[in-house]
Amino acid sequence: MWSSVGLSVINVVWSSLALCFLVAFCAHKVSRLLPRRFDTCRAYVLFQDLIRYGKTKQSLKRDDWLRVFDVPKRWFWHFYAVSVGWNGLLLVLYLSFIFQHQYPLWLSDFLDILTGAPGSDSQVPKLSTVLVQLLLWVHSLRRLLECLFVSVFSDGAMHLVQYMFGLGYYIMLGLTILCCDRMEKERSTLLSQLDWLQVAGFVLFIWASWLQHQSMVLLARLRTGKSGTVETLTHRVPEGGWFELVSCPHYFAELLIYISLSFVFRGLSFTWWLVVLYVLFNQALAGQLCHDLYVSKYKSYPRHRRAFIPFVL
């Protein structure tokens, strides 16, 4: 069933990332139980500096030398710009592969290294690969437009390491899709590969994208007036929509988007499930940091809200 299960480089990469963020999430939860004197410990401050960004970073007491590595959080749009360009290129190259049955030599060699599966073993184009590439590109384009025309960023910062990681993340993500293609064997024709699970994945993708967009609009309205002009950059308690259930529904929507892409892969790609696992722990950490900030800053904050998964986490 899961033909991609194995100790390939790409699987090790995503397993390691998932484990790192799981450890970071657990370490953050434990750190809240430590005595307050640990707040000034250099190791603790450095750890918090690396996992926090934006509003969750502003209350962190840091030495001046750590602020040297700050870059504006509004640079988030760089990630999606890179994704639109890079993953658009990979989509074009895969469409070319459908007709010519070969990649450029540089890309083929790189996929061989990441998967350990020779390109000659995978010559049948896969509908799921085309669909996932296309949906990832659409997702990146939407997020780019939201960053540029919807979101209202404050003067929050993120660490340079986080910025570099974000740029590399979307490059690796596009390559991962091609790795999933390389490690899954397919013998049927392209059009005959469509099944109900892919349709369900597409429907979930549309709904999760709408949920995320609605959440971003509600967050932006906290800082704009009825005319749409920015009135304040202060942080306020979000209300309405799924914010009544969780502090970060946009993070929950992000997880659902990646799960939907796994459905488009027909649930058969072990590698992509590792990506989903990474997204789960990554968004859990970010959501928990935001939730903790809201709870500590606003005494009237609704106690029934979870961090990012309704009724669960």
Question: ∠ CA 132-137-139 to the nearest 5 degrees?
Answer: 95
The string of pLDDT tens digits covering residues 261-297 is 999 999 889 999 999 999 999 999 999 999 999 999 9
Average pLDDT, the chain: 90
- Give the tens place of pLDDT for each residue, 138-187: 999 999 999 999 999 888 899 999 999 999 999 999 999 999 988 777 66
Q: What is the mean pLDDT of residues 57-75?
A: 90
Question: Could you tell me which of 245, 249, 253 has the C-alpha nearest to residue 306?
Answer: 245
- Residue 11: how many CB atoms within 10 A of its CB? 21
